[in-house]
Amino acid sequence: MVVKTITITEEAYKILKNMKGEGDSFSDTILKIGAKRVPLRNYFGSMPDLDIQEARKRFKNIREEISKDVNRHARS
């Protein structure tokens, strides 16, 4: 098993610690959170008057910004 060290804020640590079940590791807790992801299509109804092409364009821009942030932090 490969182990990685991450840095999180104190606030994030407290939240994660409170979510952690007895006997669970932090990794177990993070995996449970990841498994609860909701498909993006469930949110389209919450965007009134927004066509699918505009939604795709917005999400593409968001993904690009996130990728830039991840790459920037990876180089740090």
In this predicted model, what pLDDT tens digit does every residue of 23-37 receive, in sequence order?
999 999 888 888 777
Backbone φ and ψ for 9, nearest 5 degrees, come out as -70, 165
User: CB under 8 Å to 20, separation ≥6 — which residues?
Assistant: 26, 28, 29
CA distances from 24 to 12, 27, 35, 50 (A): 17, 8, 15, 42
Map out the domains of the chain as residue ranges.
Answer: 1-37, 39-76
**Residue, of 41 and 8, whose pLDDT is higher:** 8
Q: Which has the minimum average pLDDT: 6-15, 16-25, 38-47, 56-65?
A: 38-47
Percent pLDDT > 90 in the chain is 25
What is the band of 10 on the pLDDT scale with cuts at 50, 70, 90? very high
Q: Side chain identity at 29, as an amino acid letter?
A: T
Task: Answer yes or no: is pLDDT of 60 > 80.
Answer: yes
